[in-house]
Amino acid sequence: MAINLSREIVHSLEREKIKEIGNTNFYLCYQCGNCSAGCPCAEEMDILPHRAVRLAQLGQFSRLIESKAIWVCAACITCSVRCPRGVDIAGFMEACRQIVLRTRKVDHLSPVELDAQLLKELPQIALINNFRKFTG
Amino acid sequence: MEISYYPGCSLKTSAINFERTALSTLEELGIYALELPRWNCCGVMFSQSADNLMLQLAPARVIMEARETGRKRLLTLCSMCYNTLKRSLLFFKRNGEKLKKINAFLKLEERDFSAEGVEVIHLLTLLSELDTSNFKMKIKKIKSNLKVASYYGCLLTRPREIALDGVENPQIMEKLLEIAGFQTVNYPFKTDCCASFQVVNRRNVVKKQIRKIVTSAVRNGAEIFALSCPLCEYNLDSVQQELAQEDETFTPIPVLYISQLLSLALGQDPKLNDFSLHRIDPRPLFKEKGLL
Ligand code: SF4
Ligand code: SF4
């Protein structure tokens, strides 16, 4: 896929937003791939964590924001503790989710549409945790 | 010794067996956990949105309640509560500005919030500080050859700044289990994530993780899991049951809160464990091993 590296794109507003919400400087990443290697959810992702970080460095936020990866992330922090550059990738992922939730105002998951049987069975620790990640 | 205790939501519902056995184990060892007079849900997961202070209010209120008891230490049993409260405390210690803002907000309640004077401590740390010989003396059941796999999951050891033991290879649970006379097994996935809240809408991710974790533990000789997170407990217990129904070559093993095992070893009333809460019934195994 062609990548547009115009000045406006690379310096877009989202880059400051991600840094601020995720409280991490993703420009420190040197693409070692450690984060992706240990990610328990990598298999289900369309873009691996280290690639997601690279896309952000290149200002390709629209691809990031459209990705499935940011919603498959389980916020387990494995990537962040293993990053040799101290990038908090878990925080970065959260920032990407937040940008979608805040700007599009559409939740990733609608609690009312969940299966009634499942809702009864799931402990509240799973539900609250999930809704805090996937709803705005 | 008295210590303040914050239960959190699960400990009164799905993990009631965890609360009962943990508190009775502590009591046997001379520690009285006093529940906070008032508490609210901590929000389950520490908010990673650094710019949204509203999400820090829930843990801030819990910390405030704890301060008002005048006791320094605040005990949690749930790994997630531990993580959230400990990180929130650290967040306010490091961000004076944010602390001021929260305080301005809470002024309406005429209460004073500060991050000083409170320490959040997890059950495992508290138990490991105790005098080992006293603990050993109290063990009533004969040495059990039950082989236990400790499962730490994510939030006891990540991020590093709140880790209660080594990040990659924690040993704190194994040490406690060995004191209580259990055998422990080594396997490589004890700190791997079970995929957590994805169980709500991406159960397949959880299933894949649970299969990997359980298969590895069983191959290394595990007969049972010990853990301290109510969400890991639900995921391991319910998903194993599902996997076993789908695939007869899959061997499910019971999932227990570590305090359930300690309480049994101390010879306490097995009724403290509501075994009906378990999808994979541990009783046959306990009987076989002389623990029931
Ligand atoms: S582990 Fe850190 S440095 Fe390595 S690819 Fe991931 S974010 Fe970049
Ligand atoms: S926090 Fe998300 S991206 Fe990082 S290892 Fe865990 S699941 Fe993967």
Examine the pLDDT at B159 and tell me if it is beyond 80.
Answer: yes
User: Cα separation of B175 and B158, whole Å?
Assistant: 20
Which ligand ends up closest to the CA of A35? 1
Q: Which of B205, B199, B242 is nearest to A126 (CA)?
A: B199
Report whether B154 contacts A76 (CB < 8 A): yes
Distance (Å) from the alpha carbon of B168 to chain A's nearest alpha carbon: 9
Q: Which domains does chain A have, with CATH numbers?
A: 10-106 (1.10.1060.10)
Report whether A21 contacts A29 (CB < 8 A): no
Full-model pTM? 0.95
Q: How far is CA B82 from CA B26, B44, B78, B157, B166, in A?
A: 17, 9, 6, 10, 16
Q: Point out the ligand 2 atom lying closest to the alpha carbon of residue B195.
A: 7
- Report residue A105's pLDDT band, with 50, 70 and 90 as the boundaries: confident
Report whether B190 contacts B214 (CB < 8 A): no
Looking at residue B65, its pLDDT comes to 93
H or E stretch including B99?
helix B96-106
Indicate the range of B2-16, B134-148, B169-183, B211-225 predicted with least confidence.
B134-148
Examine the pLDDT at B128 and tell me if it is beyond 80.
Answer: yes
Distance of CA B142 from the midpoint of ligand 2 (Å): 42
- pLDDT digit string, tens, across residues A10-37: 777 788 899 999 999 999 999 999 999 9
- Report residue B196's pLDDT band, with 50, 70 and 90 as the boundaries: very high
- pLDDT digit string, tens, across residues A34-62: 999 999 999 999 999 999 999 999 999 98
pLDDT average, residue stretch B179-198: 96
Distance of CA A91 from the midpoint of ligand 1 (Å): 13
A71: tokens are 């919603």
Examine the pLDDT at B208 and tell me if it is beyond 70.
Answer: yes
Tally Cβ neighbours within 10 Å of residue A106: 10
- Report residue B113's pLDDT band, with 50, 70 and 90 as the boundaries: confident
- pLDDT digit string, tens, across residues B54-82: 899 999 999 999 999 999 999 999 999 99
CB contact under 8 A, A124 and B10: yes
pLDDT average, residue stretch B162-179: 96
Looking at residue A12, its pLDDT comes to 78
Q: For a pocket test of ligand 1, which of A29, A51, A54 has the largest count of ligand atoms closer than 8 A to its C-beta?
A: A29
Q: Which of B56, B20, B3 is nearest to B11 (CA)?
A: B20
Report whether A94 contacts A75 (CB < 8 A): yes
User: Cα separation of B69 and B36, whole Å?
Assistant: 8
pLDDT average, residue stretch B110-115: 84
Looking at residue B110, its pLDDT comes to 80
Q: Point out the ligand 2 atom lying closest to the alpha carbon of residue A41.
A: 7
Hey, whose CA ends up nearest to atom 8 of ligand 2? A39
Which value, to the nearest 10 degrees, does the dihedral of the CA atoms of residues A48, A84, B160, B101 take? -80
Looking at residue A11, its pLDDT comes to 79
Q: How far is CA A118 from CA A72, A108, B201, B202, B203, in A?
A: 19, 18, 10, 12, 11
Report whether B75 contacts B104 (CB < 8 A): no
Examine the pLDDT at B23 and tell me if it is beyond 70.
Answer: yes
B279: tokens are 């999808």
Q: Which chain A residues are within 8 Å of B235, Cβ to Cβ? A: 126
- The three-state DSSP-derived secondary structure of chain A is CCCCCCHHHHCCHHHHHHHHHHCCCHHHCCCCCHHHHHCCCHHHCCCCHHHHHHHHHCCCHHHHHHCCHHHHCCCCCHHHHHCCCCCCHHHHHHHHHHHHHHHHCCCCCCHHHCCHHHHHHCCHHHHHHHHHHHCC
CB contact under 8 A, B44 and A22: no
Q: How far is CA A45 from CA A50, A65, A72, in A?
A: 12, 13, 6
Q: Is the ipTM of this complex over 0.90?
A: yes
Does B11 contact chain A (CB < 8 Å)? no
Q: Which chain A residues are within 8 Å of B201, Cβ to Cβ? A: 109, 114, 130, 134
**% pLDDT > 70, chain B:** 99
Indicate the range of A102-106, A117-121, B91-95, B108-112 predicted with least confidence.
B108-112
H or E stretch including B128?
helix B123-129
pLDDT average, residue stretch A87-112: 92
CB contact under 8 A, B198 and A41: yes
pLDDT average, residue stretch B9-17: 95
CB contact under 8 A, A126 and B197: yes
Pick from A40, A95, A130: CB nearest B197: A130
Q: At which residue do the structure tokens 């990866």 appear?
A: A69
Q: Is A74 in the pocket of ligand 2 (CB under 6 A)?
A: yes
Tally Cβ neighbours within 10 Å of residue B99: 20
Alpha-carbon Rg of chain B, whole angstroms? 19
Sign of the CA dihedral running B17, B277, B158, A131? negative
Distance of CA B192 from the midpoint of ligand 2 (Å): 11
Phi, psi of B257 (to 5 degrees): -70, 145
B210: tokens are 């649970």
Does B205 contact chain A (CB < 8 Å)? yes
Pick from A22, A75, A81: CB nearest B167: A81
- Report residue B142's pLDDT band, with 50, 70 and 90 as the boundaries: low
pLDDT average, residue stretch B45-59: 90
